[in-house]
Structure 1
Amino acid sequence: MNTDPRPVYARAAEQIAALVRTVRPEQLSGATPCTEFDVRTLLSHMVGGTRRIAVIGAGGDGLAVHPFVDGIADDGWPEAYDAAGAEVRRAWADDARLDAPVRVPWGETPGRNALSGYVMEAVTHTWDLWDALGRPLELDPEVAEFALAVARVVLPEPERGDDVPFGSARPAPEGADAYERLAAWLGRGPVAVG
């Protein structure tokens, strides 16, 4: 991908920040479409992943950053996410970072590809959190379209093995929006109600 993913990442991050601010303490132990995570674990992963892409953008070793964070108070998630997001903006401010080779969990790649991959991950987890919280906000469809395009490039085959952190693709519901199509492509479905 030759696009500059930073504007899309910025929009995705603003949306995540707004969504994280809606989380109530009693929702933290709730189920998410990311079946092995409750809301608290998902937030921990979203903050950890954001810290990881900040380190990558600054030229550091993203693999050295744990993709989960500990020690965040129940009411501290908005501040934790905002702080990590500020690190990302600083780390990726220099245009040269887009073409610099970086190391990410899936290998070495130009910075723009790494950040595009993290847009996909961030937007996917946005949908996970949004669904888990009862869909409290309207989501930006353009960031989901970007993330879906990335997902189809980096995960072109619908069947995925255990070494891929996303499930095999599922059929999207009829009339699905971009988020539902992204979730289905990455093997997710809404949290079961009842």
Structure 2
Amino acid sequence: MTALLRNVRDDQHTLPTPCDEYDVKTLSSHLIGTVGRIIAIAELGSPDSVSPIAPEHDAETFARLAARAHQAWADDALLDKPVVAPWGESPGRVALWGYTNEALVHGWDLAVATGQPAEADPALVEPTAVMQHHILPPAIRVPGVPFSMVIEPRTEAGPTERLANWSGRSSTNWIRSIAANKHQR
């Protein structure tokens, strides 16, 4: 994620992303806010004291907070301890899963919007996708809460793109955007 944020150019900050809520700069700030919330869950038991949109949007802030998050979650006992996540009380490991999913999907959003490679490490994506399919099956979805309806993936979609599709992100419209951004580099 740090490399992804580091490769966002200033002239890309106002570009739209597959996440309709955010442009590139705001999505970058949201990724940093997400790490801040993970830290708050570990240290305070709840993310409520941290905004989901950080004032910063740079890679160095993300890297610093990610290192702090690793330290905050270093005690394995915290994984089974009940914590409060935005969706309610759950074991720490479930809260981490939710934020891992969010980081992977929003990382895909950011990569696609800025013309960067969008596939994350399959060893991280695949177990996250299995959990996402189990916890958020199509049958219980209401449009937009907490994700849009499942989008059928392209045949050639990789694991991260498929996870984004499961979260309601359509990749078809963004394929042209990827090609256009590569030509602008």
TM-score computed with the length of structure 2 as normaliser:
0.86
* Count of residues paired in the alignment: 175
Where do residues 1-194 of structure 1 align in structure 2 (5 Å cutoff)? 16-70=1-55, 72=56, 77-136=58-117, 139-157=120-138, 160-161=141-142, 164-190=145-171, 191=174, 193=177
Deviation at 1:165, TM superposition (A): 2.8
Matched to 1:160, the amino acid is R
Matched to 2:126, the amino acid is E
| Larger RCO, structure (CA 8 Å, separation 6 or more) | 1
CA contact (8 A) 2:118 2:161 kept: no
The structure with more helix, counted as a fraction of residues: 2
Partner of 2:183: none
Deviation at 1:158, TM superposition (A): 5.3
Query: Identity across aligned pairs (percent)?
Result: 42
CA contact (8 A) 2:35 2:69 kept: yes
- Give the Cα–Cα distance (whole angstroms) in 2 for the partners of residues 67 and 135 of structure 1: 24
- Residues 137, 37 of structure 1: alpha-carbon distance in 2 compared, 3 angstrom cutoff: closer
Deviation at 1:160, TM superposition (A): 2.5
- Give the Cα–Cα distance (whole angstroms) in 2 for the partners of residues 149 and 91 of structure 1: 25
CA contact (8 A) 1:34 1:128 kept: yes
- Give the Cα–Cα distance (whole angstroms) in 2 for the partners of residues 158 and 189 of structure 1: 19
TM-score computed with the length of structure 1 as normaliser:
0.83
CA contact (8 A) 1:31 1:132 kept: yes
Deviation at 1:138, TM superposition (A): 5.7
What RMSD, in angstroms, separates the aligned Cα atoms of the two structures?
Answer: 1.9
Deviation at 1:46, TM superposition (A): 0.5
CA contact (8 A) 2:143 2:149 kept: no
Deviation at 1:136, TM superposition (A): 4.0
- Give the Cα–Cα distance (whole angstroms) in 1 for the partners of residues 136 and 118 of structure 2: 28
Matched to 1:189, the amino acid is S
